[in-house]
Amino acid sequence: MTDFAHLPATTRLGDIEVCRVGFGAMQLPGPMVWGPPKNPEEARAVLRRVVELGINLIDTSWYYGPHVSNELIAATLRPYAKDLVLVTKLGGRRTDDKGWASALSPEELRFGCEEDLRTLGLERLDVVHLRWIPHTSVPFRESLDAMIALQQAGKIRHIGLSNVTPAQLRDAMTRAKIVCVSNLYNVAHGEQKLGSLPHASTEGQEAIVDLCAEHGMAFLPFFLLAIPGPRRENTALTEIAERHGKTLAQVAIAWLLARSPTLVPIAGTSRVAHLEENWEARRLALSKEEFDAISAARG
């Protein structure tokens, strides 16, 4: 049973210790995650504040922008602090119409790895997620084996998975050491509601969160601050936020932190004020009754 009064402040990605609130760089580029930010100085200020606050995990990818988030990180934070962990992902690419497409062949994964290394100014990537995008003709094991080869070549320190099913995770665990999973998971959608979301693995997410905790793997949820809209308002979330004088987003992060000891919210923002609000959410200790009320309302 979760000890709601004494939640762990850190968890591990393999042999790397990270605090349990990270930062997602996806919102640093311009609209639709394309091109430079509207306010480049604010984007750099956000990154500087990330480090000042003590956040030591930044989630990024070469195809955010493309290249924009990585280049901002490198230009602002190099030389990197010794404890800063840059988590990237391979398996996707951007199309000319600002869309998203899979890039899961061994050649595409090698290309993406080199782009991350080049734009971040690194010789080895700390943690890299294999981002699985459905409707590809490339077999999962072929992509995973390409990631393993990159690790053996010294390009990748640790392998993670993203957007995977429980079956894919279990299969991967028989072939490589997987240190983390990044899947769609938030306070707005329970298992039933997740099933209506396109282009995201929604099968067995609760089981994956628990499997990660059982095996000491971090779970980094994406779209974690999806807040229920008026048609499916989580009244428990609203009432608890009002009771504590917190924002809905802060309560959502607190619920995630209480959900599993290895869960690491990686909220993204392009504003310093929002970053500080997200960071403060770790101080909000929900009671078991509050946690259960929010969980029951997810559906």
For 73-124, write each residue's pLDDT tens digit.
Answer: 999 999 999 999 999 999 999 999 999 999 999 999 999 999 999 999 999 9
pLDDT class of 204 with cuts at 50, 70, 90: confident
Using a pLDDT cut of 70, give the percent of the chain over it.
90
Bond preceding residue 66 cis, omega within 30 of 0:
yes
pLDDT class of 231 with cuts at 50, 70, 90: very low
pLDDT class of 1 with cuts at 50, 70, 90: very low
For 29-74, write each residue's pLDDT tens digit.
Answer: 999 999 999 999 999 999 999 999 999 999 999 999 999 999 999 9
Residues with Cβ within 8 Å of residue 59, at least 6 apart in sequence: 22, 23, 24, 25, 26, 87, 88, 89, 182, 220, 266, 268
- Please, what is the end-to-end C-alpha distance for the chain in angstroms? 21
CA distance 154 to 23: 25
CA distance 227 to 140: 32
Average pLDDT over residues 16-41: 97
What are the catalytic residues? 64
CA distance 109 to 129: 11
Pairing of strands 92-94, 23-24: unpaired
What is the second-level CATH architecture of the domain 12-228+262-275? Alpha-Beta Barrel (3.20)
Domain boundaries, the chain: 12-228+262-275
Q: What pTM value is reported for the model?
A: 0.93
Of 10, 33, 30, 37, give the one whose Cα is nearest residue 22.
10
Which three-class secondary structure state does DSSP give residue 23?
A: strand
